[in-house]
């Protein structure tokens, strides 16, 4: 799998589906905005490359908004700190070459047109495409499920027209009005479980060949979106991924398999994006409902990754990390030989990282305690003996790698928080 043909939009869709799982109110928001953006860009006859960039940007435009509260506020209105999540989203994506343009579009996707002043924000050019995503986003935010979309449309369009030139670029408002007669667009938006799958193949969404190193880079970005939702988890996936990669090498995986393991490590908690951060950060004991919500995260990881056929191995290694050899794990209760070696490696990497990492409310275990816990879990039939032995044989080396990876992640998290924090005061 060193070279796999994979749609970049397919990978991004997996991420946006994950972040929209957090509330039924948001269900499909990213897909809806991407769908409407697609038709606006087509209506405007933008050059094909620009159509692609604006579509990809729309598909993940709100990924910088990490809490459920912030996401819901953005659907309701455009609060004063509205630009923060755009800037954060851009910060996360800008280092990934294929998404550089999309990152710049996302950065300004709430910039009002302001009679033309919105072409620039604090000396920086605002891409025209940002205004497209803005219009699509606000239009979709007004759609109310449960009411016929065609009945709602006149009200929504009237509200948009009222803000033509003040908030939205007038040419874009005209383009939106040209789409009003195409009933199917509005029906797709609301009735389809996956609106962007309704876009007929037109060559725009050409397959982009991502090499394995690109996928590592993108998975790394995903891991920050997963981890940065809470300061309690801010460095977790970084530690698990590096530990798992190192263990994979030591148990004899090929170099490519080790990269696959690194990707799976970055994505192993993807389903946590669907869990309310109030639960992730709850100081006291979780009640039954909250506990079950957390436990569901590997189930979500499985199904989110299941949408990408080329990710079969990654899905298995990533989403079985709470399965146990004795069958008492979750969510599939996979037992013994049915649990692949890659999944056993991930389980050990996850436990090892969880018990040794420092969290805001407690220090990680010292070496002696950690070794005790790992041995106990082997004795209970929870973890694989061979993998744990390999870990214990290279304990210092792996622990140092884990610490370094998590230290770097903590520094990135601080810088990430500053991105929003500074802008909030501007």
- Return residues touching Fe ion (CB under 5 A): 62, 74, 137, 269
Query: In the complex with Fe ion, which residue's Cβ is closer, 257 or 269?
Result: 269
Nearest distance, CB of residue 200 and Fe ion, angstroms: 25
Nearest distance, CB of residue 29 and Fe ion, angstroms: 6
Query: In the complex with Fe ion, which residue's Cβ is closer, 169 or 269?
Result: 269
Tokens 């649990």: give the residue: 339
Nearest distance, CB of residue 214 and Fe ion, angstroms: 25
Query: In the complex with Fe ion, which residue's Cβ is closer, 207 or 424?
Result: 424
Note whether 260 and 308 are within 8 A (CB): no
Q: Is 294 exposed, middle or buried (0-12, 13-18, 19+ CB in 10 A)?
A: middle
Nearest distance, CB of residue 153 and Fe ion, angstroms: 19
How far apart CA 80 and CA 274 sit, in angstroms, is 26
Nearest distance, CB of residue 254 and Fe ion, angstroms: 26
Query: In the complex with Fe ion, which residue's Cβ is closer, 137 or 169?
Result: 137
Q: Is 354 exposed, middle or buried (0-12, 13-18, 19+ CB in 10 A)?
A: middle
Query: In the complex with Fe ion, which residue's Cβ is closer, 212 or 330?
Result: 330
Q: For the beta carbon of residue 51, count every other beta carbon within 10 angstroms.
A: 22
Nearest distance, CB of residue 125 and Fe ion, angstroms: 19
Nearest distance, CB of residue 128 and Fe ion, angstroms: 17
How far apart CA 65 and CA 167 sit, in angstroms, is 21
Note whether 316 and 345 are within 8 A (CB): no
> CA distances (Å), 300 to each of 128, 219, 227, 295, in order?
36, 16, 16, 10
Q: Which of 215, 232, 113 is nearest to 164 (CA)?
A: 113
How far apart CA 44 and CA 182 sit, in angstroms, is 15
Query: In the complex with Fe ion, which residue's Cβ is closer, 89 or 391?
Result: 89
- For residue 4, the SS3 value is strand
Residues 220, 266, 213, 251: what is their CA dihedral angle, to the nearest 10 degrees? 150
Q: Give 3's strand partners.
A: 211
Q: Which of 90, 67, 79 is nearest to 19 (CA)?
A: 67
Query: In the complex with Fe ion, which residue's Cβ is closer, 74 or 264?
Result: 74
Q: Which token pair is 281?
A: 């950060």
Nearest distance, CB of residue 103 and Fe ion, angstroms: 14
Query: In the complex with Fe ion, which residue's Cβ is closer, 1 or 82?
Result: 82
Query: In the complex with Fe ion, which residue's Cβ is closer, 217 or 269?
Result: 269
Nearest distance, CB of residue 5 and Fe ion, angstroms: 30
């Amino acid at each position: 799998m060193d070279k796999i043909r994979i749609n970049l939009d397919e990978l991004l869709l997996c991420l946006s589906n994950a972040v929209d799982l957090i509330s039924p109110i948001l269900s499909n928001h990213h897909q809806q905005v991407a769908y409407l953006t697609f038709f606006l860009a087509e209506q405007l006859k933008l050059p094909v490359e620009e159509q692609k960039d604006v579509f990809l940007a729309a598909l993940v435009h709100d990924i910088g908004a990490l809490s459920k509260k912030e996401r819901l506020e953005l659907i309701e209105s455009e609060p004063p700190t509205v630009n923060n999540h755009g800037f954060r989203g851009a910060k996360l994506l800008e280092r990934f070459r294929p998404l550089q343009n999309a990152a710049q579009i996302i950065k300004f996707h709430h910039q009002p047109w302001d009679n033309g002043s919105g072409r620039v924000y604090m000396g920086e050019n605002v891409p025209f495409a940002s205004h497209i995503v803005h219009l699509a986003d606000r239009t979709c935010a007004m759609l109310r499920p449960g009411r016929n979309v065609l009945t709602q449309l006149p009200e929504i369009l009237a509200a948009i027209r009222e803000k033509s030139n003040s908030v939205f670029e007038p040419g874009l408002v005209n383009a939106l009005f040209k789409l009003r007669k195409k009933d199917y667009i509005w029906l797709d938006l609301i009735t389809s479980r996956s609106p962007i799958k309704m876009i007929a193949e037109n060559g725009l969404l050409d397959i982009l060949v991502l090499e394995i190193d690109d996928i590592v880079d993108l998975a790394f970005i995903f891991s920050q979106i997963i981890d940065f939702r809470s300061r309690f988890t801010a460095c977790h996936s970084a530690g698990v991924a590096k530990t798992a990669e190192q263990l994979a090498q030591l148990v004899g995986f090929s170099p490519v398999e080790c990269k696959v393991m690194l990707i799976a490590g970055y994505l192993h908690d993807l389903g946590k994006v669907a869990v309310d951060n109030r639960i992730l950060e709850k100081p006291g004991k979780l009640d039954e409902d909250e506990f079950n919500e957390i436990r569901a995260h590997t189930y979500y990881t499985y199904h989110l990754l299941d949408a990408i056929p080329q990710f079969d191995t990654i899905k298995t290694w990533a989403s079985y990390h709470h399965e146990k050899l004795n069958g008492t794990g979750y969510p599939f209760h996979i037992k013994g030989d049915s649990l692949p070696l890659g999944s056993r490696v991930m389980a050990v990497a996850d436990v090892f990282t969880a018990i040794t990492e420092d969290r805001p409310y407690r220090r990680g275990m010292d070496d002696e305690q950690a070794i005790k816990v790992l041995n106990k879990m082997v004795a209970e039939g929870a973890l694989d003996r061979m993998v744990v032995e390999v870990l214990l044989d290279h304990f210092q080396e792996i622990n140092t790698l884990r610490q370094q990876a998590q230290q770097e992640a903590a520094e990135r998290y601080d810088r990430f928080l500053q991105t929003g924090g500074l802008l909030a005061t501007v």
